[in-house]
A and B are shown apart, each in its own frame.
Chain A
Amino acid sequence: MCAHAILPCRPIRSLRSVRTAVTRWTAALIFAVFVLALTYAGDAMIIVPGPMHAGHSPIAECGTCHSNITEGGFAWLHAIVKPSSERQDSKACLSCHQLSTDALQPHGQPLDKLKALTDRNRSGQTATGTPWSRWVGNAVFPTARAVGDGIFCASCHKEHRGVAADLSAVSADRCQGCHAAQFTSFEDGHPGFRKYPFARRTRTNFDHASHFGEHFEKTRARKDQSQQVPEACADCHTLAADKKNMNVKPFETVCSSCHLHQIAGTERLSGPQGIEFLTLPGLDVQTLADRNIDVGKWPEASEANVTPFATMLLGWNEDRRALLALVNELDLLNLNGASESELRAVEWFAWEIKTLIYALSAVRPSMVLKRFDNAGNMAPDTLTRLTASLPRDVVAGAIRDWLPDVEAELMAHRPIDAGDLARAVDSTDALFRTELSGLGEPTAGQDPDSAATADDDSTDTDDDADILSEDDGDDLEEAASDDTASGEEVSSEEDDVEEEPAASPLNVDAQTWAEFGGWYRQEYSVLYKPVGHADTFFKAWFDLSAGRSSPAATAVFSVLTDKNAQGQCTKCHSIDADNADARQVNWGTATSAAKLGRFTRFMHEPHFGFPDKKGCLSCHQLDQTAAYQKGFEDYDPLTFASNFKPVGKDVCTACHTADAANDGCLTCHDYHVDGVTAPIMNTKVPR
């Protein structure tokens, strides 16, 4: 036997064998670590691809945005086999970022609008030179298939890229995936501009050409220190807070030195400076008396016309409007040929006028105005502006001079039964009459004789009425013809002054007295003179009548928009209308809000450093030949000719190239053209 021990065979693992074992263990270990981490981490943070944007940091649950995901370690596995949830995910975005109802359509716009825009662009200038990569892309990866169900938020906005990531960064190539016009770059192939930047006529009718070439020159020649002529564009224009638009400076800064007198009407050659709001219309009193039509006492001297304001105030329902229309067709100063029914209509009208005038003094003006607002939803501030705080004494003075016995007459007069028309008195009207009749009744502990004047001692007292009642015939006419300023005290001394207006140099006529505007009375009219630019009374009646299509409203609108109208508002403020029901007075210039919905934006501020000495004129070149004023002859804002030549693409491509001032689509175009807003949180007030 051999003394050497026989060692057992101990195979040594080859390196390949060891490597295989290491590989297996590594793969198994990695998988195990993943599973354990997901199990014991308690949430899915391990699989979060990266931090969310700072604005989204309050979102702690994956399911807030990923609608397919239910919370739990491995719950996400189920989502792999769930149907696609892009639409639901986008709705989660839209719960905070509010867009239009078509938010998931391209640009958040209705498809029919997009189609119309596409058709328009195809019919006009088109892009040149579609890149061959786009040809291939269109054939191999048609965009329509990708966005057939809508363009979802995550298509462009990629999250989990860090707290400071730019979520709105989108390459220019992506825009071209959808657009009919496909081109290489802004400089190479982008369609030319079409009348840019003018999409409509200016809201304010300001003819730059005539001002530059004529008005400014004349004003300079006059050397009137009170009139300032701008020397630079920036004298009238200033940068808006959004740094995009150039706003026009206020009227008081740039226009008033030359144009304020046109509003005040101080240089009017004919007609009153104030607008007739209320009149005591002239009636053929003789004929009415001959035909036994009782209108009470009515001054024969009045030749005033019915104002459209009065017609509007009285025509608060269809029946009354029909009757007023009938009266308006008559020659109220010559009723010889009027029929019996027409005379009865005149009788009704006369008493309504008396009631209206008396009511404006006796009850709150808001009650009077509310009667023609059938819906009864007119805001208090609107009522205030419509009356421009009409002083009671102006109306009281009118009653004293025109209709001194009106209170007694109204008490004695029973409302005329105008057939069907009488039934039209609605609840508002009943309330009005209750308030009106209550003034004539004595209250407890009060002298019945003075009951009617309990509100204001300065208005008609019974004594005043007695005194005034003695003034009939010529005396009344004489008193009525005297101009009286608003707020005059009703006294015998004043009457004496009015009889000799020229006795004192201080006693000016009412219109002159109202040099700064406001209410005044002249002959048989109560007039309102604008108190300056942006007069609230004029604006209120403009807006009220513009939005209504009734003949009365149209009549008011016509009076206000007449080229000789007091205030001359529409000399500068244009009117837009799609149809008669949708007239709109443009009180201001274009605002950022008005530019919502535009696909192109321009930010002025970065261009202020333009090295060209021409400054603003580098882009805005005056077109002396443009028929600017012709664009304001109708209410269509889209038929116009600008004072300035359109800006050509070549102006922009001088700088905006890929190598210079950036030529990406989003430099000038917005995707969300209607803007994106974040709703204010609905936080309840702590109790």
Chain B
Amino acid sequence: MRDLIRHSLLTALAVAAMFWLVGVYDASLRDARFLDGWILLLGCGVQVLFSLRRKFPLLPLGNVSSWMRAHIYAGFFLLAAFALHTQYAWPTGIFETALWALFVILAVSGVFGAYLTRSVPSKLEQNRGGTAFDDFPAAQTELLQRADDLVLGVGGVAASPSITDFYANTLSGFLNGPSSTVGLFRRSPSTFRRLCEEMDSLEKRLDDGGKQTMQAMREVLTEKNTLNNRYAYELLLRLWLFVHIPATYGMIVLAVLHVAVIYAYTAGVP
């Protein structure tokens, strides 16, 4: 918390300094939009360095978590620079609107990403499991195989017809799924709770052998649910970058063109 306060104060101080500097620049009869514009563009350039840093983790340039922290606070600083540069007004030109929209997308996705990077690790901690993101399909197949073996009685007695029916009609869908990313977030954890309740209900009507089978099946179901949750959070940590990074480079392309246009048409004193 102390770090949060310290870093927030530093960011606020930097923002105040920027506003003051731009004000002084403007008062000297120069066009302050050039100054805050260059601050904004150069700031965006520095932010891009973060992704480069991640590509070269072995370079002795500080740890990634420090870079990430700096990236987040610099992002908030650039939000203020953006507000200053746009004069707190909606864009009106076509080109300006595109640039404005890309920055807003970039900023919103960045804020969302910052939230995820702070909140998801704790969720992953609650859903322990050493499966790497790329090994999720194999882990899911393994769980499915274990469930199949329990029903078919591989190495023992085959499950009762009621268990077989429950597995075939209800449980296999959950163990095989979800079929889509959206479904991943929509079905868990409510689906998991409903399945547990149905298993409890069925278990009451089974003999001891059946109860043992259902107990083993419940473990499979729980592992699958944990796997789903981990997969969902790991996916989230990757999916928001599909918005943030393309928006970053798209915005930089437009920003460079914007600078070219401005210097071609400029009439004030930079």
A→B interface (CB under 8 Å): 14-16, 18-19, 22-27, 29-31, 34, 37, 45-51, 62, 65-66, 68-69, 76-80, 85-86, 89-90, 133-134, 136-137, 140-143, 146-147, 151-155, 158, 160-162, 171, 173-174, 176-178
Contact = CB atoms under 8 A, between A and B. Distances in A.
A177 B25 CA distance: 9
A137 B95 contact: no
B250 A152 contact: no
Contacts of A133: 20, 23-24, 27
3 shortest interchain CB distances as A-B pairs? A50-B92, A26-B246, A141-B28
23 contacts: A14-B134, A19-B241, A23-B248, A24-B249, A26-B246, A26-B249, A27-B252, A30-B98, A30-B102, A30-B254, A31-B253, A46-B94, A46-B95, A49-B95, A50-B92, A76-B261, A134-B27, A141-B24, A155-B29, A155-B268, A162-B92, A173-B26, A174-B26
A244 to B, nearest CB: 28
A151 B268 CA distance: 9
B27 A177 contact: yes
A49 B29 CA distance: 22
B27 A176 contact: yes
Contacts of B111: none
Contacts of B263: 80
Nearest to B269: A146
Nearest to B267: A154
Nearest to B262: A49
Main secondary structure of the interface of B (DSSP, over half): helix
Contact of A140 (B23, B24, B102): B24
B29 A51 contact: no
Contacts of B27: 133-134, 137, 171, 173-174, 176-177
B24 A79 contact: no
Interface string B132-150: 0010000000000000000
Contact of B24 (A24, A27, A137): A137
A68 B262 CA distance: 12
A648 B257 CA distance: 54
B91 interface: yes
Interface of B: 20, 23-31, 89, 91-96, 98, 102, 134, 238, 241-242, 245-250, 252-254, 257, 260-261, 263-265, 267-269
Contacts of B134: 14
B257 A146 contact: no
A506 to B, nearest CB: 80
Given A22-B246, A140-B24, A173-B27, A66 B92 contact: no
Contacts of B94: 37, 45-48
Given A46-B95, A76-B264, A136 B24 contact: yes
A80 to B, nearest CB: 5
B231 to A, nearest CB: 12
Of listed A19, A25, A49, residue having the most chain B CB within 10 A: A49
A47 B95 contact: yes
Given A23-B246, A48-B93, A49-B93, A155 B269 contact: yes
B19 to A, nearest CB: 11
A171 B30 CA distance: 13
Given A62-B265, A158-B268, 7 more contacts: A19-B245, A37-B94, A46-B95, A80-B263, A85-B267, A155-B269, A161-B89
A133 B24 CA distance: 7
A47 B268 CA distance: 18
B24 A50 contact: no
Contacts of A155: 29, 31, 268-269
A85 B28 CA distance: 20
A34 B254 contact: yes
Of listed B29, B95, B241, B252, residue having the most chain A CB within 10 A: B29
Given A45-B94, A141-B24, A65 B254 contact: no
Contacts of B95: 34, 46-49
A162 B87 CA distance: 13
Contacts of A171: 26-27
A90 B94 CA distance: 26
Contacts of A76: 261, 264-265
Contacts of B89: 161
Nearest to B35: A141
A147 B249 contact: no
A14 to B, nearest CB: 7
Given A26-B246, A80-B263, A162-B92, A152 B26 contact: no
Nearest to A149: B269
A134 B252 CA distance: 34
Contacts of A176: 27
Contacts of B30: 141, 146
A137 B93 CA distance: 33
A130 to B, nearest CB: 12
Nearest to B235: A15
A587 B215 CA distance: 114
B92 A173 contact: no
Given A77-B264, A133-B20, A133-B23, A142 B28 contact: yes
B24 A151 contact: no
Contacts of B252: 27
Contact of B269 (A27, A77, A152): A152
Contacts of A174: 26-27, 29
Contacts of A68: 264-265
Given A19-B241, A141-B30, A146-B28, A51 B92 contact: yes
Contact of A89 (B98, B260, B267): B267
B93 to A, nearest CB: 4
Contacts of A25: 246
Contacts of B26: 171, 173-174
Contact of B267 (A24, A37, A66): A66
B14 to A, nearest CB: 17
A69 B254 contact: no
B242 A19 contact: yes
Nearest to B23: A173
A50 B89 CA distance: 12
A532 B93 CA distance: 65
A68 B264 CA distance: 8
B96 A49 contact: yes
A27 B96 contact: no
A37 B93 CA distance: 14
A345 to B, nearest CB: 70
Of listed B28, B245, B249, residue having the most chain A CB within 10 A: B28
B249 A27 contact: yes
A146 B30 CA distance: 6
A137 B28 contact: yes
Given A19-B241, A89-B267, A152-B267, A30 B28 contact: no
Given A46-B94, A48-B93, A50-B96, A69 B265 contact: yes
A85 to B, nearest CB: 7
A414 B94 CA distance: 91
Nearest to A89: B267
A49 B92 contact: yes
A27 B253 contact: yes
A48 B92 CA distance: 9
Nearest to B96: A49
A74 B238 CA distance: 39
B117 to A, nearest CB: 16
Contacts of A27: 246, 249-250, 252-253
A55 B249 CA distance: 38
A161 B263 CA distance: 18
A140 B20 CA distance: 13
B238 A15 contact: yes
B28 A23 contact: no
A50 B94 CA distance: 8
Contacts of B24: 133-134, 136-137, 140-141
Contacts of B250: 26-27, 29-30
B29 A146 contact: yes
Nearest to B93: A49
Contacts of B265: 62, 66, 68-69, 76, 79
Contacts of B254: 30, 34
